[in-house]
Amino acid sequence: MKVEDKVSKWAIELQSLAQAGLFYGKDVYDKERYQRIREIAAEMMAERTEFPAEKIAGLFCNDVGYQTPKVDTRAAIFKDGKILLVHEMDGHWSVPGGWCDLDQSPMENTVKEVKEEAGLEVSVRSVIAVQDRDKHNEPPYAYGVVKIFYLCEVLGGSFSPNSETTETRYFAEEEIPNLAEEKCSREQIQMCFQAYRSPDWKTQFD
């Protein structure tokens, strides 16, 4: 979803304000107004993107409470100087990871995601970076995302096909294949290599 113009940014802000109003508002008539503002914001986004209004509403107006960023965790795993990537169902590659579950800490979620997508048991060694997704990945989303990259070490396990990935493979830095850029960019892969090679890497953050 492209968010490149002022109107789209205004729509995102209106949706956030309407969501807060729906959650904290007490007056039934005010809530009706906030709901209509939310619908208008979704219609504005639909006009500015290629997505139908129904999909925009599902992505854009599906949360409750005060709007805060979602958390996405990613695991950088290396072997013989190469990074592990998982091959997703759409044909693109990414480092293992995904949305942080409600009952998992970011570190626990990273371990879980690696097990589900790559079949490996890992331990987390350090934090590579904490990033604002929209500063590093395309296309922009209509909601905020905080991405946390961890440097991980394999303890055991092996890959088996699953509902999310079809294979895993280790790649040298100059061999990186077609990536799922919305999840993991080449810049982020290069950052992971730099962290892996640096004994005194300092966590990057936005």
Helix (H, G, I), strand (E, B) or coil at 4: coil
Give the CA angle between residues 182, 106, 113 to the nearest 5°.
60
Q: Which of 2-16, 26-40, 184-198 has the lowest mean pLDDT?
A: 2-16
Residue 144 or residue 49, greater confidence:
144
CA of 126: how far to CAs of 29, 152, 181, 192, in Å? 50, 7, 23, 11
Say what the pLDDT of residue 35 is: 92
* Contact yes or no for 120/114 (Cβ under 8 A): yes
Q: What is the pLDDT of residue 143?
A: 77
Q: Would you state the pLDDT for residue 7? A: 84
Residue in this structure with the two tokens 């304000």, named with its chain if needed: 17
Cα–Cα distance measured from residue 165 to residue 118, given in angstroms and rounded to the nearest whole number: 8
Q: How confident is the model at residue 32 (pLDDT cuts 50, 70, 90)?
A: very high
Angle at which helix 6-24 crosses helix 28-48, to 10 degrees, equals 160
Asked if the model's pLDDT at residue 164 lies above 50, the reply is yes
What distance in Å separates the CA atoms of residue 100 and residue 112, rounded to the nearest whole number? 10
- Residue 190: pLDDT band (50, 70, 90) is very high
Q: How confident is the model at residue 4 (pLDDT cuts 50, 70, 90)?
A: low
- The span from the CA of 98 to the CA of 85, in Å, is 13
Task: State the average pLDDT over residues 21-28.
Answer: 91
